[in-house]
Amino acid sequence: MNFLVSLGFNEIEITTQVSAPAVSPSSSRVSMQDYVSLLNKGALLTNNSLFGFELGKHIQAKDYGVLGYLVESCENLAQAIQALTRFDALVANIGNTTVVNESTNVHINWKPKSDDCKQMVLRNTTAWVATVYKILGQACQIHAITFTFPLSVRERGTLEAWFNCDVMGEADTNAIIFPQSLLHIPFTSENRAMFSALIAVTETELRRCYQQGNSPGETDAFEHIRVSVEALLKAQPTLKGCNQQRIASALFISPRTLQRKLKLSGTSFQQLLNDERKCRLDELLKHHSIADTADLLGFKEQSSFTHAFKKWYSTTPLRYQKQLVK
């Protein structure tokens, strides 16, 4: 929906002219039927048979919520694929991923749960490759990509130019084929603390997804949100750019919903963020200047950090630092 709006279409035009389902941008999850419908209607509106491909190029890891952050924090592609196959149901649960290891190549096969799948497969395949491109850069070399649906000469040429590999239609499986050597190239964004925290949060979310008619009480749910936010904040290597919008996206909820649930649990995002800042404060001030400490704690200005610090400790950061390093 947001992608179509960015192309100049308005929501009324999308939902009335093409009878697409009404979906709120703040929704945490869209049904597979609505998801497929929106993709197909997008192809009609834009008159582009590769609409899913164009959409996939604009997907970023953060759009996958917790799973996206988990993938970016992995040590390498092998670990990321393991996380993907384990937790993919958290994002949409619209297909099944299998990994086939050969002597020199790896096949990632994806079977959608819908027969009307062209745009969906194009979007997901492209988004997956785009995310890996972003992490691995030029080291990412794909051998081939196959699709179960037919492709015209023009479509195939467009896809091959972007994927920089052979692309085949009417194949037995939807697959991304790449060399085994890619599996163990280190991710530059790897962070073990973040990975461990995100695994814990993701496992909890997955268990909640699979609960059958045994939903937790309201109090438990709000407490769960608070604990999840604390884990995600603790997992960040720095707190720069760590805001309510980012954390809410990782938890598949809107910032307003996050704010409401934290309030019902007796806290707020700002309070949890400040608590995490205080936990890191001493170690940062021992090894960094006050300006760098403010930056690493997510303050845009040193003056804002100084003001907050005085409120917390009734002294200045400089005086505190001098006492700390004695």
**What does the H/E/C string look like for 276-317?**
HHHHHHHHHHHHCCHHHHHHHCCCCCHHHHHHHHHHHHCCCH
- Which pLDDT score, from 0 to 100, does residue 137 have? 81
Residue 238: its pLDDT value, please?
83
**Structure confidence at residue 75 (pLDDT):** 80
Highest mean pLDDT, choosing among 53-62, 127-136, 285-294: 285-294
Taking CA 60 as the corner, what is the angle to CA 55 and CA 66, rounded to the nearest 5 degrees? 125
Domains of the chain: 1-47 (no CATH), 60-192 (no CATH), 211-324 (1.10.10.60)
Which range of 130-134, 233-237, 283-287 scores highest in mean pLDDT? It is: 283-287
Please check the confidence at residue 260 and state whether its pLDDT lies above 80.
yes
The pLDDT of residue 219 is above 50: no
pLDDT of 284 higher than 90: yes
The chain-wide mean pLDDT, for the chain, equals 82
User: What's the predicted TM-score (pTM) here?
Assistant: 0.61
pLDDT of residue 158: 98
- Local confidence band at 144 (pLDDT 50, 70, 90 cut-offs): very high
pLDDT digits (tens, 9 = 90+) for 185-217: 887 655 555 566 666 666 666 566 555 444 444
Q: Are 226 and 262 in contact (CB under 8 A)?
A: yes
Helix H segments across the chain?
Answer: 2-6, 11-12, 32-46, 51-56, 66-72, 77-87, 118-136, 153-163, 192-210, 218-235, 244-250, 255-264, 269-287, 290-296, 302-313, 317-324
- The backbone torsions φ and ψ at residue 172, rounded to the nearest 5 degrees and listed phi first, read -70, -30
Residue 153 has pLDDT above 80, yes or no: yes
Q: Please write the tens of the pLDDT for every residue from 51-77.
A: 999 999 988 766 666 667 667 777 888
